[in-house]
Structure 1
């Protein structure tokens, strides 16, 4: 298996790598609501060069897991406990990443009797999200199945939170990969019309998706 971690703690040698998700980098002590992005300007005045940038965020929050490549996409993952034990795969929601599960103690608790695997979903943390693909729940599920096969994960229980529940459901309906069960928390299960649906489509492919992202979303949400 190829390694993507450089000496400086991130895989800068990988072409078109994903920037560290800035939502995640700011979670520790800064509100990320759109009404509070004025902190950036005040931080610049008070801290000079210590303004949060993608590079500085990466340095302060180095990868905590390993890397693998699936279908040309690099994913970060954490794999804990005995590989022969029953497996649990944890899928996070939007604006989140692996650390939500590790810092909460959930990984350590589950690892007492299970193999526990957590992924940064594509576009979050240190996992890539190529813009020329449409990353539906089904597309993310297909990518994860490839990763599962590489890691020797069989018949897992898949808990998914928020948008991760959507991806977990897409895994559950696949005919080519059996799972033992789903645990769906605060997910999207039925189609509903919301004003935010159009705005949340900023991750669409091509120049139109990038233009929408840059025009309608504040800087920390654009990567």
Structure 2
């Protein structure tokens, strides 16, 4: 092939690929706009060190901060649990940086400690200087970082299905594929633009298994917010980068002197109880572990009464009730 023909071929290929990229970006932007219109902020937005933090505040009583897990947002709590707790607590559910309606401040990745600092500052701005802090899944690591970095900044912890201890092995196909700049650059726009509805359905089913998701969960939780390009990138970067932070934090868990309640389903395959909560309960002095037989990764939906009871126990142990 002559140089001229090769050049023309490359130009044509680039034009096709460029057109495909443009179509993908436009489709992704349209779907993101639709998701944001369908699931607007439910609370207020505060600015902390350049980060816009979304906080949904409801109820009266002792302050209780709720921190969601990977790919989530405040709607995972306000779907049902927050209203029940708001009868006796001032509930503050916050989107973690990069997810929901909280921005990441332009940071490529925020560690659990950095996220805890930002959320703690936002909670303080709302008048919660010593709240109970509940963290689910990835949020469990953020809750523990909150206590480690500011021992006087929390009254107690409730860790639900927490990703809290070092683990062996990988994180699954999606996180392997996105564990690179190229993977995040290519896959995030494709998922945002073309992911079918059944992807969200199958993902929710996998997260809840072996329990069923509650009726209407997918319609209310705002899955489309998690499928935005910036949220996909933030989530994969945070999850792929979690292990070294958890490994370093685990060496300090013995210093935690707060009341700590831990709940975990023994059928959880997302954050297995043997890997995380059973080991965590052994290293935090006075920690109380409640095992939920047959329960999966989402007990705040499938066993809300057990989660509420753990919160009440932590509140009593902290002298808040």
Task: State if a TM-score over 0.5 links the two structures.
Answer: yes
Look up the match of 2:105.
130
CA distance, structure 2, for counterparts of residue 146 and residue 64 of structure 1: 20
Deviations 1:19-55 (A, max 9, x none): xxxxxxxxxxxxxxxxxxxxxxxxxxxxxx9x96101
Shift of 1:116: 0.5
Give the unaligned 5+ runs of structure 2.
Answer: 1-26, 193-226, 231-321
Asked whether the equivalents of residues 66 and 135 of structure 2 are also in contact (C-alpha less than 8 Å), the reply is yes
CA distance, structure 2, for counterparts of residue 52 and residue 59 of structure 1: 11
Look up the match of 1:34.
none
**Match 1:180 to one of 141, 155, 169:** 155
| Secondary structure in 1 matching 2:149 | coil
Cα distance change, pair 94–202 in 1 and its aligned pair in 2 (3 A): farther
Look up the match of 1:40.
none
**Match 1:158 to one of 133, 140, 144:** 133
Shift of 1:92: 0.5
RMSD: 2.7
**Match 2:85 to one of 97, 110, 123:** 110
Taking structure 1 as the reference length, what is the TM-score of the superposition? 0.66
Asked whether the equivalents of residues 92 and 160 of structure 1 are also in contact (C-alpha less than 8 Å), the reply is yes
CA distance, structure 2, for counterparts of residue 52 and residue 193 of structure 1: 39
Asked whether the equivalents of residues 145 and 177 of structure 1 are also in contact (C-alpha less than 8 Å), the reply is no
| Secondary structure in 2 matching 1:53 | helix
CA distance, structure 1, for counterparts of residue 33 and residue 184 of structure 2: 20
Look up the match of 2:185.
214
66-75 or 173-182, which deviates more: 173-182
| Secondary structure in 1 matching 2:40 | coil
Look up the match of 1:26.
none
Asked whether the equivalents of residues 199 and 216 of structure 1 are also in contact (C-alpha less than 8 Å), the reply is no
177-186 or 108-117, which deviates more: 177-186
**Match 1:62 to one of 40, 46, 57:** 40
Give the unaligned 5+ runs of structure 1.
Answer: 1-48
Shift of 1:197: 7.7
Shift of 1:203: 8.8
Deviations 1:199-223 (A, max 9, x none): 648999xxx74x3312355523432
Shift of 1:133: 4.3
| Secondary structure in 1 matching 2:153 | coil
Q: In the alignment, does 2:73 pair up with 1:97?
A: yes
**Match 2:51 to one of 73, 79, 102:** 73
Give the paired residue count: 167
CA distance, structure 2, for counterparts of residue 203 and residue 177 of structure 1: 37
Shift of 1:191: 1.1
CA distance, structure 2, for counterparts of residue 194 and residue 215 of structure 1: 25
| Secondary structure in 2 matching 1:196 | coil
